[in-house]
Amino acid sequence: MVRKLSIALLPGDGIGQEVVAAARKVLLALPGRHELAFSFEDLDWGSDYYFRHGAMMPIDALDRLQGHDAILLGAVGHPDIPDHITLHGLLLPIRRGFDLYANVRPAYLYEGVRSPLSGYAPGSIDMVVVRENTEGEYAPIGGFLYHHLPEEVAIQTSVMTRHGVERIIRFAFELARRRNGKKRVASITKSNAQGYTMTLWDRVFRAVAQEYPDMETESLLVDAAAMNFVRRPDSFDVVVASNLFGDILSDLSAIVTGSIGLAPSANLDPSRRRPSLFEPVHGSAPDIAGKGLANPLATILSAAQMLEHLEAGEAAQSLESAVRAVLKEGRALTADLGGNSTTSEVTSAVIEKLG
Ligand code: NAD
Ligand code: IPM
Ligand code: MN
């Protein structure tokens, strides 16, 4: 029986348009044996919508998204609108509004891809950054006093709740247990400087770790973690971090495995009450937007994570294998991977490999 999946497509801004169009094509080309049928709703929310309506998305946006099985998003960000307006108008309210608390960002060194670090064999770097996605440093708690005056004061407060910290750490351990990896969980904080939120995190990490005696653990300060992502990237398996630290470290894990153009992400509601959101780690890349130069593979791999989450695991594997084959062959690669192919050439190459 053919299973119908209803997907909200939210390409957003810049190269988001190009990479989501590519992922859509690839999903539609999945072989019939997977017995999946997609119904897409194309949503034109984003910066152009903002220029027309004065808001990034309609007021009832979350109600409209709620009806879908999942959301595939491109990127948000426009050079003519301050980033805090675009991001707080679209992506961040969806992550929080749907309680998509687990942001899962795998980084894998594929065969055929060159890491800027020398000496790493394909598959030897294989980690997942699990990023807390609903609170922490991204909590919209703060304000200005004497705004724009010489005596101006700005306050932005990081919010960590035991509930929020515990569930993301537990999620990381469960993921490490399921993965075919090193069964190792690294926790990243900065408790030497931030003695409240980050020490709460450390205490919860130690407590939850007790329940997983089969897992190796390490606790690193974020500055040392940044160094070790470069010095010994092959030692990491699952890395769990706060919202901001996870954001920063996942650009680093992306580049040590070749390119941000390859890095996918899942914003999950593990309770499955709400549609989860899948998106590349990268942004709208205004420097290359509209030129057909964007690497679509991060978004295609995000679509594979989406299929995995929707319990279409074989289709997800087909997609990932097709990407793997394109990379290994090395004929259709975008500039970020040292090639000179266009977005649509890479997309066609993936579709060809789907067979
Ligand atoms: P970016 O990820 O958009 O770009 C960083 C660099 O990587 C650029 O040189 C870009 O050309 C390159 N790059 C990114 N994706 C690529 C791809 N698929 N193929 C080839 N090259 C790629 O980050 P930025 O420049 O810091 O931010 C640009 C805008 O995107 C800002 O408005 C920012 O706020 C926004 N942003 C949005 C998201 C999101 O929507 N999730 C994520 C990051 C940044
Ligand atoms: C990401 C992005 C966003 C984040 C920005 C654009 C708000 O950098 O998804 O990695 O920090 O979450
Ligand atoms: Mn980021």
* Residue of 10, 20, 56, 282 to test ligand 1 pocket, by largest number of atoms within 8 Å of CB: 282
Q: Which residues pair with 35 in a beta bridge?
A: none
Nearest-atom number in ligand 2 for the CA of 251 is 10
8 A C-beta contact, residue 169 and residue 221? no
What is d(CA 215, CA 56) in angstroms, rounded to the nearest whole number? 43
* Residue of 87, 103, 132 to test ligand 2 pocket, by largest number of atoms within 8 Å of CB: 87
Nearest-atom number in ligand 1 for the CA of 12 is 40
Give the count of beta carbons closer than 10 Å to the beta carbon of residue 52.
9
- Residue type at 241 in one-letter notation: A
Is 336 among the catalytic positions?
Answer: no
3-state class (DSSP) for residue 5: strand
Is 126 among the catalytic positions?
Answer: no
* pLDDT by position in tens, the chain (length 355): 899 999 999 999 999 999 999 999 999 999 899 999 999 999 999 999 999 999 999 999 999 999 999 999 999 999 999 999 999 999 999 999 999 999 999 999 999 999 999 999 999 999 999 999 999 999 999 999 999 999 999 999 999 999 999 999 999 999 999 998 899 999 999 999 999 999 999 999 999 999 999 999 999 999 999 999 999 999 999 999 999 999 999 999 999 999 999 999 999 999 999 999 999 999 999 999 999 999 999 999 999 999 999 999 999 999 999 999 999 999 999 999 999 999 999 999 999 999 8
Q: Is the full-model pTM beyond 0.95?
A: yes
Catalytic residue among 69, 126, 237, 247, which?
Answer: 247
170 CA distance to ligand 2 centroid (A)? Answer: 23
8 A C-beta contact, residue 42 and residue 64? no
